A and B are shown apart, each in its own frame.
Chain A
Amino acid sequence: MEPLMSKGGDMWKLLALELKYSKAAYLFCWGAALGIALVLYLAVNTFSYIMVMGGSVPCIVLFLVWAGAKEDEEKRIRLLTLFPVSVREIAVSQILSFFLFLAGMIIIWSVSSVLSPGVYVPGALLSIACFSGSIITWAFLIWIFSDMKQGFNMAAGIIFIVSAALLIAAIIMVGTRMGVKALYWFSLSPGREKTVYEALSMILLSCILVFIQYNVFIRRRSYLK
C-alpha cells in the first residue's frame, strides 16, 4: 500500500490551508450556533418539545449557512486536485477539516441540549455518536483502501445503510404503538412524551446525516471518478 503522506507532509499543509481559508465561515457558524441556542433557551424554555430540538435547530440552520458559505467548495477541491499531492491526502485533509468544524458544532449542540430543561441527553449523545461514527468510518475506509473510488463507494454504502436503518427505526418507534412501547421499555427516559421526542430527534438526525454526507462526501467523490 502506498504511503498516506508525501515526503513534505502535504496533507497538513492542505489542512492548514483549508482551515485558514474557511476560518471566517467556521467562526461565523459557531458564533451563530451559540447565539441561536441562547435565544431558544431564553425565549422558549417553557416548551419542552422545542427544547428537545433546541440543540438540533441551530445545527440544521448553521449547517445550511456553512454549506452556503462554502459554495465555492467544488472549485476549491478541483484546485487542490491540481496540486502536487495525492488524492488521498486531499480527501483526508478535507475530512479532517470538516471533522474539526463538526467537533465545534457537537460541543455547542451538547451544551445547548444539556442546558435546555427537559431535554433527553442520551438522545443527543446518540446523535453525536452517529455523527462521529460516520466521520470516523469515512476516514478509516479512506485510510485502508488503496483505491480511493472503492473506499468512497464502500463507505458511502455503509453510511447510507446506517442512516436509512436509523430513519426507519425512528419512524417505527414514533409510528407504531409497539414501537413506542419498546422504546419506552428500553429507554432511560422517564416518560412517553420524551421518548417520542427522542425518536423525532433521531429522524431529524438521520436526515441531517444523509444531507451532510451527500454534500460533503458524495459530491467530493465525483472528483475521483
Chain B
Amino acid sequence: MEEAMHNALTLKGIVKKYRGFTLGPLDLTLEPGRVLAYIGPNGAGKTTTMHCISGLVKPDAGTVTLYGAGATPFSGDWKQNMGYVGDTQAFLEDWTAEQNLAAVKQFYASWSDTRASELCSMLDLPLHKKVTHMSAGSRVKLSLVRTLAFEPRLLMLDEPFAGLDPAARADIIDSMFSFIEDRQRSILFSTHTISDIERLADEIVFLDNGTIVQRSLKEDLAENFRRFSFFLKSSLSELPGCVSLKQKGDRYEAVSSDCTKTARELQKAGAANVAQSRMNLEEIAVTVIKMHKRRDMRDNHGTAYV
C-alpha cells in the first residue's frame, strides 16, 4: 500500500479476457519522473492495458492505482491525474478545436489556459477549424493539447506518432520533453518506432501475448545485448547468456543477452577470433520478443529451438 502511494502507477494482477486473448495477470509499476516505453507486437495487449488504466474498459480482475488513488468506474477523480492520448482520437467532431478545448476545460480543476495557449502556438494548431476537417496530425496535436493543458501527473500515449509527418512528430516529441522536464511527471507510451524510444524512454517493458516478458533500463539493454562471432573447433549446442546461436562449419554467430557471461564462457571454451558488436534497440527489441516466443514454444512442445 505504502509502495502504491509512492508510485505514479501500480497495476496488480490485472486480467482482461476477450475471446481468443487474455491480458495478464499483469503487475506493473511506474515511478514518478520516469518514462516507460511499452512495446510488443500487434495484438500483444498494449492498448488493452492502457484502456484498463484509463477506465475505457473494466478489467476482469486486479487493481489499478494512480498516485495512491484506486481507479474505479464509480469515481472520476483519479482521472484528474491521468492524461491519455489513444491511437484514435475522440472529439466533438462538429465543433472547432477551440470549442472542444472549452468543453473539456470545465471538467478539470487544474486546467491551465496559459499552458493550452502555449501548446497551441507551439504545435501550430488551427484553433478555428472544425475537428472533422482536421488532418490526422492536427487531431493528434489537439488531443495532446487537450491532455497536457490540465497538467496530468501521468501521461499515457498509445502509438501517438503513427501516421505523422516528421515535422509534426518533432513538434510532439518536443512537447513531451517539456512535459517531463521537471522530472515529477511520468509517461507510459507504446510505439513501434524505436527511435522514439531511444529519445524518450528510461525503461522498456516488453509485452507479448498479454504478458510482460521483460523489463529493463534502456542503457542496460544496450550494454548487455551483443552480437558475437567466433571460431571453435568443437561443436557447441548452447552457450550461456546467449539467446541465439548459429553455426557454419567452425564459425559461430551468437546473440547474447548477457555479454559478460558469454565472453567469459567463450574464453573458457577456447574460442578464437572472438568479435563482439553492439546491437541497436530495434534489433534488441526483436530479439527479446523472439526469445520469449521460442521459450513459449519450448515450454509447450518440449523442444529446444536454439
Contact = CB atoms under 8 A, between A and B. Distances in A.
Interface in B161-192: none
A34 interface: no
Main secondary structure, interface of B, reads loop
Interface stretch (A78-86, A104-112, A122-130, A188-196): A78-86
A78 B90 contact: yes
Contact of B91 (A13, A79, A83): A79
A108 B222 CA distance: 70
Nearest to A24: B94
Interface string B97-130: 0000001101110000000000000000000000
A2 B75 contact: yes
Contacts of A78: 56, 90
B94 A21 contact: yes
A85 B74 CA distance: 8
Contact of B73 (A10, A13, A76, A88): A88
A79 to B, nearest CB: 4
Residue from A81, A82, A87 having most chain B Cβ neighbours under 10 A: A82
Contacts of B103: 17, 21
Contacts of B90: 75-76, 78-79, 82
A21 B92 CA distance: 8
A177 interface: no
A225 B58 contact: yes
A157 B55 CA distance: 25
A92 to B, nearest CB: 12
**Residue of A72, A88, A146 most packed against chain B (CB within 10 A):** A72
A78 B78 CA distance: 17
Interface residues of A, number: 27
B269 interface: no
B34 interface: no
B282 interface: no
A82 B56 contact: yes
Interface string A7-48: 000100100010001001000000000000000000000000
Contacts of A2: 72, 74-75
A225 B73 contact: no
B76 A83 contact: yes
A6 interface: yes
A10 B74 CA distance: 13
B76 A76 contact: no
A148 interface: yes
Given A13-B106, A81-B56, A86 B74 contact: yes
B93 interface: yes
A135 B185 CA distance: 44
Nearest to B78: A84
A220 interface: no
A224 B74 CA distance: 12
Nearest to B85: A82
Contacts of A149: 58
A6 B73 contact: no
B77 interface: yes
Contacts of B72: 2
Contacts of B93: 72, 75-76
Nearest to B77: A84
B306 to A, nearest CB: 41
A224 B73 contact: yes
Interface of B: 54-58, 72-80, 84, 88, 90-95, 103-104, 106-108, 132
22 contacts: A6-B75, A10-B107, A17-B92, A17-B103, A21-B92, A24-B94, A72-B94, A72-B132, A76-B90, A78-B56, A79-B90, A81-B56, A82-B84, A83-B104, A84-B79, A85-B79, A85-B107, A86-B73, A86-B75, A86-B76, A87-B74, A223-B56
